[in-house]
Structure 1
């Protein structure tokens, strides 16, 4: 197998969600530089939304429904809207032409993690992240920090002069910008004072409530002044620690969980000097020879979303009940719009435990209709806040997503190719004899069995 195929596969998994079925034909001969250029050519940006209409308050004024019934209906509507947002985001990852934007948005979605019920706020934040995914980190940081979703999730609506709430200020520094060890508890207190009054109105727009703002003098990271929230974010962006923290996290996500200090230092210096140009940083990473080193290929455990999106990209499928794909996200431990906490999702080996590994290996057979789904969620799953009985009931009523795969098309695409060269990142450890022993020699079973190997779990 020529290196160009290996490198192109590697690039498509890291800068997107794997090979799309339409890309297989010329992938072997495509120049990697051309592929990088394709990935970074941003297409027309379209927002992700939901079709379920927002409730009209006037609907509720002329009827006999009790407050409890109205509340229940409202909750159902919001759940439906959040589910649609989830599936529409997944659909962009699978079918969107802007693979690099969606992959980067997926990264930021875990970095700026929020977990709230409000579907309108969720939609707003998701599109803010997608719009700025490859833009400037300063713009992204400001827009996310002023989003109702983040201000709500981190209690800044309650941050008032005389009663500062430190939650937002702390997480902005610890998780979103500088990382621990680069600020003091006093810096958190002073920053919280600067963020007093930052909130949103009932329409869901950012609002600086000046009457709640502490206009006094503050000392933050060695500077003194009557700082506002914007001043604090600008001072944070002046710190080289911010560029270093973000670059290291991007390196661990896109290249290797074991960060190479020398490379990260060089990348972060360039990132800082570029004024936080995200596209420049990603282009430098994907254009560097070290990105294609053996140690960086096929070394990442795919997150559940990457696993699902990757399968959906290469298998031409018609899905009758896409809402059931959310059940798979729950069972595997990664539900879009629903990170476990403000630190986002863990990565690497934490995706794999005995129940999730078994399900991961069986999904190709389940989706092909060869076996039923017989699973309950991870034991540590708190998505339903401990309501296990509801989860059990959910599983009983759950049917397969009703997927029809066009195996005829796959036969044609792979007619003169080895499936494993396209499905597996590192074929060196793959035991093709055992794959073939489990197969009835058909293309269909060969693909299903390859996708059921431990090697397929790696990108």
Structure 2
């Protein structure tokens, strides 16, 4: 591919920094200098609206949990009902976040938060939808701020402390899980610390706990106050001291920058580019916005080798489709069905390392469903595919039985408006430039033409071509 045109650059920027663009957004942005478009994306993401499906006072407390016992015995029916209710609240949180991704002007913030959700992977535990709500809002609020603030805040989230077993980390009985993952997955990466560092850091994190109401609390009586030796330094360190040490280590900047590069630019890392970005990231005091703006304004970001090199995650695919065409689901359940079937259910990453991404998104069991998804959504086609089983009772509670039919409303009028100036012969290519990372090949153009019918009105033709273009393999790429 030759050097990108201004329209191709703009489309690519929106695909990577956000969840794609509507035809109107693309038309407006293409008329502006690229620097101004990038600045506007950051400006639109300055504010964040909190997700809210459960109020703190509604969360389970010990008093409520006692109500699940009858005559000293656990009331299984009441417990099942409670678990189902909590799973539904997490589902509602999932759907509310999807809505923010698809419709909010703060698309860059939401895309960055999706990245952090995979990096600071945390899986919903049975009893606490409030904990997941607080966790989600923390990563969204800090998504474009300073890494130090984000790392400290997410490490103190009850959802994370619970997921990584730090509630069981006590003086004289340390649990190393939390300390290990903070180093291996959140900051330094595997191989950049010793087992001794982990053992000593676990002692420093003793006392980091949470209340049933979802508040972080430091409990001195179970904290190990003795001296610890970590990274060659000795002192009566607490958890905050460990976080500070990790941020002092340039390897943290290198590890985080590398993951951001592979997510937003190319899975094949350019060492020279990543090293330069990591150095800048470290010197800026880990300013995430500064790092991302540098990436989006770099000439190399728009190299042809990066275009189409990213396979959309299931959430990116679903949200992008919704945003581009203004799709609204009459019932919310199909969006959960899509996530489960394609293997990325928000708040249920497969493990502490998050979703592997890249080519792992494409497998024989989900590829056909991926390719047919636009038709399912745009044409209300019957779905016979079954979602993947992950062995988690909480996600199984979200399953729908039997066949699914996607009933949606599509904002075709707004989408079609962008093509009023395109002649009939230009129409296919005009729509393709909005939807695909690459120009159409002659054989693809012929195939698409064959799918339109004589006598179709122009709106009908646009709708037919749009569904056909979205069913091409290239639509799976950004």
Q: Provide structure 2 residue ranges, at least 5 long, that are not aligned to the other structure.
A: 423-429
Distance 1:336 1:14 in 2: 19
Are residues 1:250 and 2:260 paired? yes
For the Cα contact (< 8 Å) 1:338–1:383, is it kept in 2?
no
Task: Name the counterpart of 1:445.
Answer: 464
Separation of aligned partners in 2, 1:358 and 1:456: 13
CA distance in 1, matches of 2:22, 2:438: 18
* Residue of structure 2 equivalent to 1:35: 37
SS of the equivalent of 1:224 reads strand
Inter-CA distance 63–285: structure 2 relative to 1 (3 Å threshold)? closer
Residue from 222, 227, 231 that aligns with 2:241:
231
Residue 54 of structure 1 pairs with residue 73 of structure 2: no
3-state SS of the aligned residue for 2:36?
helix
Query: How many Å separate the matches in 2 of 1:394 and 1:173?
Result: 39
Q: How far off is 1:383 after superposition?
A: 5.4
1:198 maps to 208
SS of residue matched to 2:47: coil
Q: 1:213 to 1:386 in 2, by over 3 A?
A: closer
Tell me the CA shift for residue 402 of structure 1: 1.2
Corresponding residue of 2:270:
260
Q: Give the Cα–Cα distance (whole angstroms) in 2 for the partners of residues 97 and 152 of structure 1.
A: 33
Equivalent position of 1:113 in the other structure: 121
The separation in 1 between residues aligned to 2:449 and 2:79, in whole angstroms, is: 55
Q: Give the conservation status (yes or no) of the 8 Å contact 2:29–2:37.
A: no
- Please point out which of 4, 7, 20 is paired with 1:5: 7
Deviation readout 1:36-90 (Å, 9 max, x if unpaired)? 0111113432111116993786799699998223212211221121011101111
TM-score computed with the length of structure 1 as normaliser: 0.93
Do the aligned partners of 1:197 and 1:210 also contact (CA within 8 Å) in 2? yes
> Secondary structure in 1 aligned to 2:366?
helix
Equivalent position of 1:20 in the other structure: 22
**Matched-pair contact (CA < 8 Å) for 1:362–1:452:** yes
Report the equivalent of 1:90.
98
Q: CA deviation at 1:213?
A: 0.8
Q: Structure 1 residues 60 and 200, CA, compared in 2 at 3 Å: closer, same or farther?
A: closer
Q: TM-score, normalised by structure 2?
A: 0.90
Partner of 1:403: 408
* Whole-angstrom distance in 2 between the partners of 1:15 and 1:250: 11
Distance 2:142 2:161 in 1: 19
Q: Give the Cα–Cα distance (whole angstroms) in 2 for the partners of residues 195 and 36 of structure 1.
A: 40
Tell me the CA shift for residue 32 of structure 1.
1.2
Instruction: Give the 3 Å change call, closer, same or farther, for CA 46–383 of structure 1 in structure 2.
Output: farther
Assess, with a 3 A threshold, how the Cα gap between structure 1 residues 43 and 278 changes in structure 2: closer, same or farther: closer
Task: Give unmatched runs, 5+ long, in structure 1.
Answer: none
| Cα separation, 2, equivalents of 1:209 and 1:450 | 58
Please give the root-mean-square deviation of Cα atoms over the aligned residues, in Å.
Answer: 2.4
Distance in 1 (CA, whole Å) between partners of 2:277 and 2:118 is 21
Decide whether aligned partners of structure 1 residues 120 and 239 sit closer, same or farther in structure 2, where only a CA change above 3 A counts: same
Which residue of structure 2 aligns with residue 292 of structure 1? Answer: 302
Asked if 2 retains the 8 angstrom alpha-carbon contact of 1:375 and 1:395, the reply is no
Q: Does 1:130 align with 2:132?
A: no
CA distance in 2: counterparts of 1:276 and 1:7, whole angstroms: 27
1:423 is the counterpart of 2:435? yes
Question: What is the rounded CA distance, in whole Å, between the counterparts of 1:197 and 1:187 in structure 2?
Answer: 18
